[in-house]
Amino acid sequence: MTSEVDPLLSEVQAAVDAQKITASAAENIKIWLTQPRYASYASQVADHIQAGKWQALDDAFWTVIPFGTGGRRGRMYPIGSNAINERTIGESAQGLASYINDNVEGPLSCGIAYDTRHRSREFAELCARIMVANGFKVYFLDDYRSTPELSYLVRYKRCSCGIMVTASHNPPSDNAVKVYWSTGGQVLPPHDKAIIDRVMNVEELPLDVVFSEAVGKGSIEICTDEVDLSFIENVKAQRFSGPRDLKLIYSPLHGVGASAVIPALQADGFADVEIFGPHAEPNGDFPNVPGHVSNPENPHVFDAIIERAKETGAEFVLATDPDCDRVGCSAPVTTDLKGEWRTFTGNQIAVLLCDFVLGKKKSGVGVEAENYVVKTLVTTEMVRRIADSYGVKTYGNLQVGFKYIGGTMDEEGPDNFLFGCEESHGYLVGQYARDKDAAVASMLLCELAADCKANGQSLHEKLESLWWQYGYHAEHLLNQKMEGSEGMANMKKLMAKFREQPPTSLDGMALQRVRDYKNNVIVTPDGKKSPLNGPPGDMVILDLAEGNYVAVRPSGTEPKVKFYMFTYVEPEQLSLLDMAKSAMQERINALETELKAYAAAI
């Protein structure tokens, strides 16, 4: 074997010397060529080397695909430590099984579900086989189902853990596993790091279990119909009374959403719902979506749906991402259905839903000081201002990821939880899940839109009334792509630069302080440091004047740095809303230009 591998390793080293691949890629390639656990992949690695496919090898091997905000996510490729393939998916399942076996007592079980992406069903079956081989009973949703339904399944069947095979709103090239704890929430520290330690040390994968045989023996229980019914009942339980006269169009963006959103809307009394035909087919290529990326954060995914709405007289449109945990929406600016339509940002949906839920609760069962809402650090502070006005708490000192919202629910007591939200179009009402749910958010958005219609008001006009009450808030997200090993190096340099040499001002607003969540320190422009009471994470927040600030963090799921811009005009300073909108848009444009220039200078 050594005689066969040595020439390959020599070629790899020559490629490193010629700067065709990185040294880290070479180390991982060596592991896949020499260690017995990767023996079945060695010939494919060798073929790549002999064909001189150095860029593909570097992309696939330059690192070990990490746990991000929700699990392991990346491009699918048949080989590679930095790719989604049978080996990395299998390692993820085996590492999870190993950790739980050593740390959880009693009968062990795992809930598993999958979305419409390429190979999702195959990867879900692989995970089920591995979990059974490790002594787990598996509860399996054997059809395309939503991520929040998997969260519910884990709680409903009292599973030890859960696995969802999905890459959410990523491009068609990607797939992933999201890993869930017994709470129904995605794994939190310290479990996430402990699990990844096990994943990194997986030797052989136990692949002797045959899926169909395990189903026959009851080791894998197909429970799709049972869980569907119970899940929708729990979503429906979050409904509020009110009008249901609304004509709407819904798009699942080629994902699983029709299995959750449509039953929820029907159960809530919305009868006039059209599924947008061009996006109805479950298809991992997302063929009829702009750029083939099914992300409701992108306003352009609504363009064709809005045209259809104008043709049919629909009053509201909704779209959910492929695994149906995020939702976006669009509505006419005024009550004129043929006039201008505008989509809502994730932050705008958050404040609309927050005010709607708290208002309905207050007029119904009432709200108390012990009640609370939860948001992340990069979600608009308007949510906190609304909660303050209703006399309820806000927990907002959270890193990015809905798993932290779910964790806060369990820490603070779910009985007092009212609403959870994050700017990336994720929302939850109710205790039935510990992850964001586009089904319940869609249902409540339709209730709000029907309420607005009954009051002779557009949804945008409702939002404007909230701005007059709480101040004008405008937020913007800038994504700076940094792909591959070079991109990762540049991300690290950029984050270090923000910590060590932050800009002294942005758009003429002097920097007041830097909140460094990685080092848990606050640094002022004169160099003085003080402790930061915040959740650890690779993020900095640049505080500027008058409630304006910018948050910067590397994405936990994609190769990019995210710049979150927050602008604010106090209600006392509002004289003309249109003037405030124009001024804040100019500010956002200036911030974006200066941040791009700052990033380009690394």
Catalytic positions, written as ranges: 168
CA-to-CA distance for 541 and 516, rounded, in angstroms?
Answer: 7
419, 354 Cβ separation under 8 angstroms: yes
118, 102 Cβ separation under 8 angstroms: no
Which residues, 6+ apart, have CB-to-CB distance to 310 below 8 Å? 337, 338, 341
* Count of other CB atoms within 10 angstroms of residue 259: 22
Q: How far is CA 309 from CA 6, 264, 461, 473, 507, in A?
A: 64, 21, 19, 28, 39
Which residues, 6+ apart, have CB-to-CB distance to 56 below 8 Å? 48, 77
Output DSSP code: residue 78.
S
Single-letter amino acid, residue 19:
Q
Phi and psi at residue 111, in whole multiples of 5°? -95, 140
CA-to-CA distance for 3 and 387, rounded, in angstroms?
Answer: 69
Residue 408 in tokens: 């806060």
Burial track 143-165 (b if 16+ CB lie within 10 A, e otherwise)? ebbbbbbbbbbbbbbebbbbbbb
CA-to-CA distance for 189 and 183, rounded, in angstroms?
Answer: 14
141, 149 Cβ separation under 8 angstroms: yes
Which residues, 6+ apart, have CB-to-CB distance to 185 below 8 Å? 151, 403, 406, 407, 409, 410, 434, 435
SS3 471: coil
SS3 296: coil
323, 295 Cβ separation under 8 angstroms: no
The beta strand positions in 226-291, using DSSP E, are 248-251, 273-275
CA-to-CA distance for 84 and 175, rounded, in angstroms?
Answer: 6
CA-to-CA distance for 513 and 524, rounded, in angstroms?
Answer: 4
Q: Residues 327, 332, 333, 336: what is their CA dihedral angle, to the nearest 10 degrees?
A: -160
Size of the chain, expressed as the number of residues it contains: 602
